[in-house]
Amino acid sequence: MTETNERSVTVAGVDCGTNSIRLKISRVDEHGYTDVLPRVLRVVRLGQDVDKTHRFADEALERAYAAAREFAGLLEEHHVDGLRFVATSATRDAANREAFEDGIESILGVRPEVIPGTEEARLSFLGATSVLGPEQDGTMPAPPYLVVDLGGGSTELVLGGDGVDAPADEVTHAFSMNIGSVRMTERHLLSDPPTQEQIEEAVADIDAHIEEAFRTVPAERTGTIIGVSGTVTTMTALSMGLSEYNHAAVDGRRVSIDEITDVDTRFLLMSRADRRAYKTIHPGRIDVVGGGALVWSRVLAKVAERANAARGAGTITSYVASEHGLLDGIVLDYGRRLLAA
């Protein structure tokens, strides 16, 4: 029997976003990572009203602390070499973020890292591309990859290399937009269901952010769009007609832009009561999934328009949904750094 001295570390990562908080424990080695405890997700709506008040609400903080206490219990069951807690859009915007950081540190023993949008983009790209594999016809998705991480408070556009002048898994351009499912719902889509005027105002807001992002990210170079986050995977599952959410079925699914736009529009115009009939939608996303769907539709339309104008009609007609993104990037990046140290 051949002995191996391959080194590995077991790390935990927490991704605390505007709408949800997620924990993952993985073993990382030179080949990648293997889950020890698959993703645990809790919808806490930490970003409740942050766009308006620029502060965390007391009840939102308590929801986040309750999830952190649950995570602490899970971490006691698994030996880990380190824990990295990453906080994103809502925490960047909150004036009382120090109170949140103090509370989390008292529960989990680590202080949250409030990362900038560019670092969030890099980690999302790392997570999404690290597990990218052949599609049903046996071919790999065409680079350059544009990873779209659509969160509750922000949306990151991250473009990688073409595989020739720059490695396909290397980030070349990135931009973080202050638009997301929670932010658009609280800012514009106030009626249930939203009015046409509210939708038009939201579209104008979203499109302005996308055009600003395109000044940094050359979206016309896109070979494959990879969509990550709860909004993208939820809308993908709905387009598939799943009666219940199925991670394995959604991961890697290719969906046409025309098809998902129709689904996005249907659920945007739907009342919250009607959305509750769909078990595919997590209960914590019922009220904001329409806002996320609208952001997703506009990003897809704008990227396709730009790529098809520059490289010919039919260049971009679909996207690939991924269950892997920021949280995967957190554990993989952190594990690699511990191994290197």
pLDDT tens-digit profile of 311-327? 988 899 999 999 999 99
Residue 124 domain flag: no
Tens digit of each residue's pLDDT (9 = 90 or more) over 12-71:
999 999 999 999 999 999 989 999 998 999 999 999 999 899 999 999 999 999 999 999
Residue 48: which CATH number? Answer: 3.30.420.40
**For residue 148, what is the DSSP state?**
E
Domain of residue 20, residue span = 9-116
pLDDT of residue 134: 87
Q: Please state, in angstroms and as integers, the Cα–Cα distance from residue 108 to each residue in 36, 105, 120, 218, following that order.
A: 19, 5, 21, 40
For residue 271, give the nearest of 194, 199, 202 by alpha carbon: 194
Same structural domain, 152 and 32: no
Contact predicate 189/198, CB 8 Å: yes
Residues 163 and 259 in one domain: yes
> How crowded is residue 129: how many other Cβ atoms within 10 Å of its Cβ?
24
The whole-number pLDDT of residue 2 equals 37
Q: Which residues contact 120 (CB under 8 A, 6 or more apart)?
A: 86, 88, 149, 154, 156, 176, 326
Residue 296 or residue 313, greater confidence: 296
| DSSP percent split of the chain into helix, strand, coil, nearest 5 | 45, 20, 35
How confident is the model at residue 5, as a pLDDT? 60
User: Does the pLDDT value for residue 1 go beyond 90?
Assistant: no
Structure confidence at residue 97 (pLDDT): 94
Q: Model confidence over 70-104: pLDDT tens digits?
A: 999 999 999 999 999 999 877 888 999 999 999 99
* Share of residues in the chain with pLDDT > 70 (%): 99
Domains held by the chain: number: 2
Contact 250, 237 (CB under 8 A): yes
Whether residue 241 is contained in a domain is answered as yes
Q: Is the pLDDT of residue 278 over 50?
A: yes
Asked if the peptide bond before residue 193 counts as cis, ω within 30 degrees of 0, the response is yes
Query: Average pLDDT, whole number, for the chain?
Result: 94
Range 289-294 average pLDDT: 98
Section 196-218 average pLDDT? 98
CA distance 169 to 128: 10
Is the pLDDT assigned to residue 242 strictly greater than 70?
yes
Mean pLDDT of 273-291: 96
181 inside domain: yes
Average pLDDT over residues 141-162: 96
Which DSSP helix (H) or strand (E) runs through 23? strand 20-29
Average the pLDDT over 189-206 and give the result: 98
d(CA 184, CA 65): 25
pLDDT > 60? residue 211: yes
**Residue 150 CB contacts under 8 Å (≥ 6 apart), including other chains:** 180, 181, 227, 228, 229, 231, 232, 292, 295, 296, 299
What CATH number does the domain containing 160 carry? 3.30.420.150
Does residue 340 lie in a domain region? no
What are the distances in angstroms from CA 100 to CA 11, 85, 103, 327? 23, 12, 5, 20
**93 and 51 in a common domain:** yes
Please name which of 20, 12, 27, 10 lies closest in space to residue 74, comparing C-alpha atoms: 12
Tell whether 92 and 163 lie within a shared domain.
no
